[in-house]
């Protein structure tokens, strides 16, 4: 199993039956979303680190970004699981 840090700006991303783990970034260690739509389903986001915020998922702008979280597990990320304009 590999790991991936997903960063999107201006595009749509759909993650189904996926694991995003063991990544780090300034914001959104697992997923950083800006001006895009991100859809998660049956996805596990764990053990990621956001140096500033949003270890698991970070959404930058509520006016241009949509994050939809279906049945998924977002846990064990540092310093928090979700931040910015997304709640989980």
The pLDDT assigned to 76 comes to 94
Angle at 50 between CA 31 and CA 46, to 5 degrees: 60
Tokens linked to 84: 């910015």
Q: Where are the domains of the chain?
A: 6-81
Q: Is the dihedral of CA 47, 51, 53, 58 positive or negative?
A: negative
3-state class (DSSP) for residue 75: strand
The pLDDT assigned to 2 comes to 44
| pLDDT digit string, tens, across residues 34-85 | 888 899 999 999 999 999 998 999 988 888 888 889 999 999 999 998 888 7
- Region 14-27: mean pLDDT is 92
Structural contact between residues 30 and 67, judged by C-beta atoms closer than 8 angstroms = no
Question: Quick check: 1 pLDDT over 60?
Answer: no
Tokens linked to 26: 């300034």
């Amino acid at each position: 199993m590999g790991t991936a840090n997903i960063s999107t700006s201006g595009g749509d991303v759909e993650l189904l039956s996926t694991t995003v783990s063991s990544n780090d970034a300034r914001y959104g260690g697992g997923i950083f979303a800006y001006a895009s739509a991100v859809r998660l389903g049956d996805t596990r986001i764990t053990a990621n680190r956001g140096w500033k915020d949003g270890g698991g998922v970070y959404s930058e702008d509520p006016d241009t970004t949509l994050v939809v979280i279906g049945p998924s597990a977002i846990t064990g990320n540092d310093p928090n699981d979700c931040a910015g304009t997304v709640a989980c």
